[in-house]
Amino acid sequence: MLFARALFLAGLMGAGLATAAPTRQVPEGGRAIEAVARGVICGPVRGGWTLSSDGRSIRPPAKADENSRTIELKVAPDEALCNTSQDTVTVIATGAFPRIDAAATTFFPDDGRVDLRGANLQGVIIAWSGVPRTEQAPGPLEGQDLCLSPTAGNKPSECAVPVRQGLPTDAALYWVPPYGKRGPEVTTYDASGNVVDPETFRLRPGRIVLTQALIQSSGIDLSKGPEGAVTVSHPEAVASVDCGLSRCEVNDNAIAIRHVAGVDVSVSLRLRLAARVFFARGDALEQSVSATLPVLACPLAAVEGTVLRDADDSALVLRLDPSCSLEPRSLLWTVNGERARVERVVKTSEGTYGLLRTRGTSSQQVTITATTSRIDGTVVASTTAETVPLPGPRALLEMKDSGPIDFIPTNRPAEVKVAGSGGVGRFVLRPLDGVYSVTVDGNTTLIQGDATAGGFVSLRFGYRVPTLPAELATMDLVSVNERVQRVVREASVPVDIANMVEFVCADKDGQDQSLPPSRPHRIEYKMRNSCRVIVHRERLTPEQGNQEVVLRINVTKADGSGRGESSLEQRMILRPQGEQRVVPVSGNLGQYDRILVQVSHVADESRYALNTTDRPGLPSAQWTAIVEGGFLRLYTMATIPAGLYRATAPSGQLAINFGVLSRLAMLNNEGQERLVGIEFGLMGLGLVPQSGDIQFPQTLAVVAGLGLRVPIGPGAAVGAQAWVAREFRGEIVRRTNGDPSTDRVVPSSKWSFIFGPSISIGNVGFNL
């Protein structure tokens, strides 16, 4: 709509500038009108226009289109001169004349509009002429606009037409038929072909309504002389003025006030408006305006510590003396000549405090000035103040149970401790939308990053002065960023492993039982394959963050060797609110197998929020369990006694012996055999001839007795034994050294008692 209005007005202005010839306009479908008083119209004509037989009159089309609504006709004194004539006349086929109810029409000069009421308002043009109060124009300004969208219905239509805002109440208003023009060169005909008097188009609204403050001044400045002036927006609308005991009169654009008593601090004015002029106060229309204006003499001071230096978009706080009745919001404020905006006003018994927002200054001193209005320009208060430098904010972030941290956590709050500024003010942490939020719990300030935020950010602080009155103490004089940047990320707090991981095995009745860590446990042999590790990811809360742990499962046999198929080492990242994960102890476990489960956190400072001053270590947990077995072990081993001593006569040393023995030994609670056991088996004795006088033959013996064994490794042991042997051998002989009288055969028994150290290898058997 605005584009259409601008395009239409531009067309009217262009046509007016380009046209110097006379213009005739008549409603479309009307009777023929005389285009020229003398001469003829050089035909032919187009677009539905009809040339009369006299050659001087022309009839408009019944329905004009855009191409035929306005045409330019060549005219000449007679037809013979048509080819050489340069004279023209413009004819316009306007729309139907509107029927405007002037008494119901309202003019709003402050709002810049005319509310029409009547019929056939579509396209009606309102032309105006006057001097707006906001313009320094040498003479009247003219303009026009049109009605685009009148209301529809059976009742008279209404249409708001914009005019120049700020026109005087006595501005001249005219209506122009749709598509028509207005000007001294324009002659308008009605549908009957009769000339219409230009004064017929003069619009005199039934009401002229003022919507903005009529009195522009906020006070009466008598500091420079005995006469003060009160500026009014529409002096032409004021019929008379009454100011009580003082003397006042209406001048060109103000009300002059004289003889104000020195003891008076205000003057009451009552303005009576001219006929048909009203002032809108809400929905009510009044013909008189009353106001009480103070006599300006206001002491002004800036609050110490609030005038900051080198701080962009900063605010300062000023105080007006209690004797001053001015409202700070009604004044125009400047700081060193630049405009300042009043953001907050607080009234106390000490005076009126106002918070002014400025662009900032780098000067050592500022001048603060208050004026009544942009039009009046009367200075009502002024002061100078020294500026103070803005200190830099410093903050420390601490997380409960973790100490100081150098990042902003996204999954849990951290406490913010702000260092003092060293002056009357203090810094308060401010939230940053989409990055972090701030909550205050008593004297504790908490910060938490947005769940979707990442990267680096500087904390934003507001500078406040707590000694200011009322809500000014909680207003930010300036916003400033911390000089350092902090990363925004999740805070992972190491949790107790025992609360997150369970080691579960079945008891002798097959019921699952959770085994506590750091204590030895025994597992029924028949339930040896029921053990499993359960990782409870569902117990993690978002505040605890992701956990990175290492799970190790080691299974060791009774002889100390590892059971590889049952061992496991796995690194896991546990996310909050996940599902349970079950890790079974695989493999077919044997008697007295030792199960060792270890779960520990991965020491990663980039993940965990670790205390920077006290580091007791990351939580970990360990479980130990042994599979129960028999009390005895019967097994076979190879034995190599390096040297056995035969105690039975003939006694002697048996060198290099070898045999296979079976050993029956008692087992302790951990499946380890006791030192002493019963041994029996076959031995080869004296496999290497001796160098002594007695020669023992190589002997196969069945031995039985007791043996003491000390393990030295998987399947290997050293020990000592004492056996009773049944020997299968030849005769024991002695050396005769060539003496025929010496008996070479030594009498001996096939039974003997032998003892000595040995080395055994192997452990093939079973538990009983």
In whole angstroms, what is the distance from residue 393 CA to residue 413 CA?
Answer: 20
Same domain, 201 and 267: no
pLDDT at 136: 56
280-302: average pLDDT: 83
Secondary structure, 3-state, 323-366: CCCCCHHHCEEEECCEEEEEEEEEEECCEEEEEEECCCCCCCEE
| pLDDT tens digits, one per residue of 562-603 | 888 888 999 988 888 888 999 999 888 888 889 999 999 887
In whole angstroms, what is the distance from residue 138 CA to residue 141 CA?
Answer: 9
Residue 456's pLDDT band, with cuts at 50, 70 and 90, is very high
Which residues, in sequence order, are CB contacts of 614 under 8 Å at separation 6+?
403
Closest CA to 168 of 95, 92, 112: 112
pLDDT for 373 beyond 70: no
pLDDT for 75 beyond 50: yes
- CATH code of the domain containing 524: 2.60.40
- Please check whether residue 344 is in contact with residue 472, taking contact to mean a CB–CB distance below 8 angstroms: yes
Bridge partners (DSSP) listed for residue 89: 73
165-189: average pLDDT: 90
pLDDT at 291: 87
- For the beta carbon of residue 66, count every other beta carbon within 10 angstroms: 8
Q: Which of 101-110, 296-305, 552-561 has the lowest mean pLDDT?
A: 296-305
Last residue of a domain, one of 592, 607, 627: 627
pLDDT at 356: 94
Same domain, 558 and 690: no
Residue 415's pLDDT band, with cuts at 50, 70 and 90, is very high
pLDDT at 374: 62
Bridge partners (DSSP) listed for residue 761: 638, 716
Assigned domain for 218 exists: no
pLDDT for 15 beyond 50: no
Q: Which of 43-57, 67-81, 256-270, 701-715 has the lowest mean pLDDT?
A: 256-270
Q: Are strands 403-405 and 88-94 parallel, antiparallel or unpaired?
A: unpaired
184, two tokens: 């001294």
Assigned domain for 25 exists: yes
Assigned domain for 136 exists: yes
Last residue of a domain, one of 609, 627, 645: 627
In whole angstroms, what is the distance from residue 766 CA to residue 768 CA?
Answer: 7
Same domain, 552 and 654: no
Assigned domain for 441 exists: yes
Residue 698's pLDDT band, with cuts at 50, 70 and 90, is confident
Q: Are strands 365-371 and 207-210 parallel, antiparallel or unpaired?
A: unpaired
pLDDT at 84: 84
Range of the domain at 281: 227-294
Q: What sign has the CA pseudo-torsion 119, 125, 129, 135? A: positive
Assigned domain for 222 exists: no
| pLDDT tens digits, one per residue of 596-631 | 999 998 877 667 766 655 555 678 899 999 988 888
- Please check whether residue 52 is in contact with residue 18, taking contact to mean a CB–CB distance below 8 angstroms: no
Assigned domain for 79 exists: yes
pLDDT for 7 beyond 50: no
pLDDT at 707: 92
Q: In this structure, what are the phi and psi dihedrals at residue 16, rounded to the nearest 5 degrees? A: -70, -35
| pLDDT tens digits, one per residue of 360-370 | 898 999 998 87
Assigned domain for 41 exists: yes
Same domain, 277 and 179: no
Assigned domain for 621 exists: yes
3-state secondary structure of 38: coil
510-526: average pLDDT: 90
In 288-304, which positions are buried (b, 16+ CB within 10 angstroms) versus exposed (e)? ebebebbbbebebbbbe
Last residue of a domain, one of 454, 489, 524: 489
759, two tokens: 């080395």
464-493: average pLDDT: 90
Of residues 96 and 610, more confidence is placed in 96
pLDDT for 681 beyond 90: yes
In whole angstroms, what is the distance from residue 370 CA to residue 297 CA?
Answer: 12
Which residues, in sequence order, are CB contacts of 262 under 8 Å at separation 6+?
none
Same domain, 308 and 420: no
- For the beta carbon of residue 741, count every other beta carbon within 10 angstroms: 5
Q: What sign has the CA pseudo-torsion 604, 605, 608, 613? A: positive
Q: Read off the pTM.
A: 0.50
Same domain, 131 and 17: yes
Same domain, 161 and 261: no
- For the beta carbon of residue 604, count every other beta carbon within 10 angstroms: 11
Give the CA-trace dihedral at 611, 617, 618, 623, to 10 degrees.
Answer: -160
Same domain, 607 and 681: no
Q: Are strands 157-162 and 673-685 parallel, antiparallel or unpaired?
A: unpaired
Same domain, 365 and 423: no
Same domain, 654 and 741: yes
pLDDT at 138: 62
Same domain, 77 and 136: yes
- Please check whether residue 128 is in contact with residue 144, taking contact to mean a CB–CB distance below 8 angstroms: yes
Which 8-state DSSP code applies to residue 78? S
Counted domains in the chain = 6
Of residues 326 and 168, more confidence is placed in 168
In whole angstroms, what is the distance from residue 768 CA to residue 763 CA?
Answer: 14
Q: Residues of the chain with pLDDT > 70: what percent? A: 90
741, two tokens: 């009288």
167-196: average pLDDT: 91
Q: In this structure, what are the phi and psi dihedrals at residue 472, rounded to the nearest 5 degrees? A: -65, -25
pLDDT for 85 beyond 60: yes
Secondary structure, 3-state, 705-762: EEEEEEEEECCEEEEEEEEEEEEECCCEEECCCCCCCCCCEECCCCEEEEEEEEEEEE
In whole angstroms, what is the distance from residue 242 CA to residue 647 CA?
Answer: 150
- Please check whether residue 178 is in contact with residue 123, taking contact to mean a CB–CB distance below 8 angstroms: yes
Q: Which of 202-216, 586-600, 731-745 has the lowest mean pLDDT?
A: 731-745
| pLDDT tens digits, one per residue of 132-175 | 665 555 667 789 999 988 988 778 899 999 998 888 888 899 99
405-413: average pLDDT: 89
pLDDT for 432 beyond 90: yes
Same domain, 582 and 518: yes
| Mean per-residue pLDDT of the chain | 85
Give the angle 188-191-194 at the CA atoms, nearest 5°.
55
